[in-house]
Chains A and B, each alone.
Chain A
């Protein structure tokens, strides 16, 4: 293992998230078991108060999840000097089998805890806690994933042996060798991928605006915004990155968050993550807009989500387009 201040910070964040979530899930279980909105008993009053605690905890976990996602990549990048051949985070994440699964789980957990907060906010609009059971069921589903993430992350950092020769981003994400998902993404033809990306962007944004103004096609937009998230990630690896690095062979999705590229990656990823949470969040709460107590309150909230998501994806596209147009790389 490597005892590095940043590694300690990572593990601290992971264990804190897990503990908080397990704590919240414990009350979630109590709420699922004893909830009775009709009752004015002390137990019910206590449970209602606990909902404040749980949503506060989840907000913190959500924020922590976002921060720790970036910290994780950052750490992987700064540890590269310890590994022969690792030139950036891509190589370091590959030093053992737990690196990439941890990263994927971090992204998934960020999105699901974001969706939970969306659901929670919707539920808070109703005077009779209309979504309480679904909400806490979701919480109990999320918890094991966060715990799993913590365990994987621990295994990843504990299992690190410095000087193990690893592939660097040059080979992992270079089109030449056909091994692993990374290189397959990278070997996708750049220009068609770019077209696919822009096509998805246009369809998604139009569908988002249609939904925003005409209030139609909400599920379509939710699905599209999820699809756009995935396609945008693919496009970053396959084509956007090479325009930013101005190197036709450098396909790394991590280097863009480094200082050398003026931290532009943070902005791009925050926009992308924000876009997917808000966009897919619509799909999560749309089914409930018919509920009596939510009928009036939910419309505005859904509209806000749609607008946020459209704006975030829009900004993402604008920045990416700007970087492509003003890139010195000509394809």
Chain B
């Protein structure tokens, strides 16, 4: 065993010095390799972090949202439905929600306007609406409960607003400023800002504006017997499916949406996007593999001579293969580590500076958030499989070719 370890040490030492002697050739390869890892890792870190962020928000969303459909489209929900739903067995609580989008032509952005959640003060008791609380049945859950957003004790009354950071940034306004809105009946409503939202995730609150119920009804012209939708809390989490079914049966025009469905759908979409990105980048990986193959098989005369000398002085084919194995391992490991670290910095500290242009399209109020650093073993293993394995496989045959150079070639290259 000691002999084996000592031998590997000799071979590794020699491999490192041999890599250093061919800096130019190897640095080119290393840079390209690192770049490939960097691109794939950035994509992956980004999609996983966003996915987690979204899941995090959705965990805090209601178990069931009930919408009203009219002619197959989302419509306002009559208040009378609320009682109907409440009477279903297994329903713990039903709350109405009022919210809508408002287009601000001044900055060309869409805000989300809503009334503050009714149970902001008592969220400890009925957690499902504003509190992130993991499912008790889930063995992986960590039992931490925190409000999705807070507004630091600011008191919201008629004629006042609480705005999200994105809105404040975009309009360049803050506390005690005024913000005018044009209501549905053409009246101008000048509202005073009394506070800003702070949030664990800016993704939630960036474009949010909170206002009182009366102001919101006036702004959008919603009659008092209608609400936007309803959220339903269920006593026993395992009955959600059943309750949703019952709602659909009682109220034909209702569309109950279960939180898990949303989670799955989002998860699916993000996976698909991540996968698509990988497929697109696989062309780059393939190009790199061809490059690596070419590099590995195109031995320079110097290298050929060197391997010939090694074999002539008593290295065996297996020893040369081992040397080449270490060479690949060293190159792969440095590129992998380098690429991953660079991608980590890129995604979590520079806010994906390189990806930003591609992402900014979807909303003018794209939150200026730094993603919570999140990498796990799954991402790293996947990355390893997608980058190191293609490289390794591409170099097997060239390695073997190099290792089987005739030992007497050292005698022959000078003739005689």
Contacts and interface: CB of A to CB of B under 8 A. Distances in A.
Given a CB threshold of 8 Å, the question of whether A touches B is answered with yes
Interface of A: 2-10, 12-13, 16, 20, 49, 52-53, 56-57, 60, 64, 67-68, 70-71, 74-75, 78, 81-82, 84, 87, 162-163, 245, 247, 250, 259-260, 263
A64 B389 contact: yes
A71 B317 CA distance: 32
B264 A13 contact: no
B404 A49 contact: yes
Nearest to B392: A60
A13 B279 CA distance: 15
B396 interface: yes
A52 B399 CA distance: 11
Contacts of B376: 259
B393 A20 contact: yes
Contacts of B392: 60
B400 A162 contact: no
B293 to A, nearest CB: 14
Interface stretch (B69-77, B155-163, B176-184, B379-387): B379-387
Interface string B386-404: 1001101100110110011
A4 B275 contact: yes
11 contacts: A5-B44, A6-B382, A13-B389, A20-B396, A52-B317, A71-B385, A75-B378, A78-B378, A82-B264, A82-B268, A260-B140
A257 to B, nearest CB: 10
B396 A57 contact: yes
A156 to B, nearest CB: 16
A168 B404 CA distance: 53
Given A8-B386, A16-B389, A162-B268, 15 more contacts: A2-B275, A3-B271, A3-B272, A4-B271, A6-B381, A6-B382, A8-B278, A12-B390, A13-B385, A16-B390, A49-B317, A57-B396, A74-B377, A74-B378, A81-B263
A81 B263 CA distance: 8
A103 to B, nearest CB: 17
B318 to A, nearest CB: 7
Q: Chain A interface mostly helix, strand, loop or mixed? A: helix
Given A3-B276, A5-B382, A56-B400, A162 B264 contact: yes
A9 B381 CA distance: 9
A169 B64 CA distance: 26
B161 to A, nearest CB: 37
Contact of A12 (B274, B317, B389): B389
A87 B260 CA distance: 13
A3 B275 CA distance: 5
A44 B16 CA distance: 35
B279 A67 contact: no
A56 B272 CA distance: 36
Contact of B393 (A3, A60, A75, A81): A60
Contacts of A4: 271-272, 274-275
Which of A8, A20, A68, A245 has the most C-beta atoms of chain B within 10 angstroms of its own C-beta?
A8
B267 interface: yes
Contacts of A260: 139-140
B386 A12 contact: yes
Contacts of A247: 139
B321 interface: yes
Interface string B239-268: 000000000000000000000110110011
B48 to A, nearest CB: 9
Which of A3, A16, A49 has the most C-beta atoms of chain B within 10 angstroms of its own C-beta?
A3
A267 to B, nearest CB: 14
Interface in B307-355: 317-318, 321
A291 B223 CA distance: 96
A56 B399 CA distance: 10
Interface string B262-292: 0110011001101110110010000000000
B381 A71 contact: yes
B416 to A, nearest CB: 22
Interface string B188-221: 0000000000000000000000000000000000
Contacts of B140: 260
Contact of B404 (A7, A52, A68): A52
A263 B380 CA distance: 15
Contacts of A263: 377
A330 B357 CA distance: 58
B273 to A, nearest CB: 9
What 6 A-B pairs are tightest by C-beta distance, nearest first? A3-B275, A9-B385, A4-B271, A9-B382, A53-B400, A6-B382
A295 to B, nearest CB: 22
Nearest to B55: A81
A74 B381 contact: yes
A228 to B, nearest CB: 25
Nearest to A9: B385
A113 to B, nearest CB: 16
A12 B278 CA distance: 12
A263 B390 CA distance: 26
B279 to A, nearest CB: 7
Contact of A163 (B138, B264, B378, B397): B264
A67 B385 contact: yes
A84 B282 CA distance: 31
B216 to A, nearest CB: 35
Contact of B397 (A16, A49, A53): A53
B386 A9 contact: yes
Contacts of B264: 81-82, 84, 162-163
B300 to A, nearest CB: 22
A12 B139 CA distance: 32
Nearest to A258: B140
Interface in B126-181: 138-140
Contacts of B275: 2-5, 7-8
A40 B279 CA distance: 49
Contacts of A52: 317-318, 321, 400, 403-404
A20 to B, nearest CB: 7
A49 B392 CA distance: 20
Contacts of B260: 84
B59 to A, nearest CB: 12
Nearest to A74: B378
B267 A82 contact: yes
